[in-house]
Structure 1
């Protein structure tokens, strides 16, 4: 079983009490989570600094731009490592610099 597979009760409770939970951000079973910077390629210090700068510059995206506190396994089996910067994409439109 995939680490991110939710049972019906958990899914119901998350939708009701935490609708913005990253585990619910899916489209046809595929999370809309984009890896921005991985700890495999950059230091956590650099990632934290750039993520904070981005969030300060773009507060409208702040809730969807964050570093992972724990490893996150996508349904594809790909593991996003703790400390990596990810962007959770909803239908807010396309981000433009």
Structure 2
């Protein structure tokens, strides 16, 4: 398997200078080592709360499991953030 980047991609002559004006975004995504690659991803604009997290689970996790054809047991990992462990999310 070929590397994605050549061995000089980290050298200064291979980089492009950029000026950023601040701002950020959050990206949620999933992948499977056993399947055919990455699942769906969502760009989150603003602050994520329990309701948005639950929407992502419904609209991105479930379809990704179907798309990736995961027939074996799969594992959902999260970091115990309050929005991940809230009563409404657990239900």
TM interval, short-chain normalised: under 0.3
Structure of greater relative contact order (alpha carbons < 8 Å, 6+ residues apart): 1
Structure holding more strand per residue:
1
Q: Which has the larger radius of gyration?
A: 2
Q: What is the TM-score normalised by the length of structure 2? A: 0.26
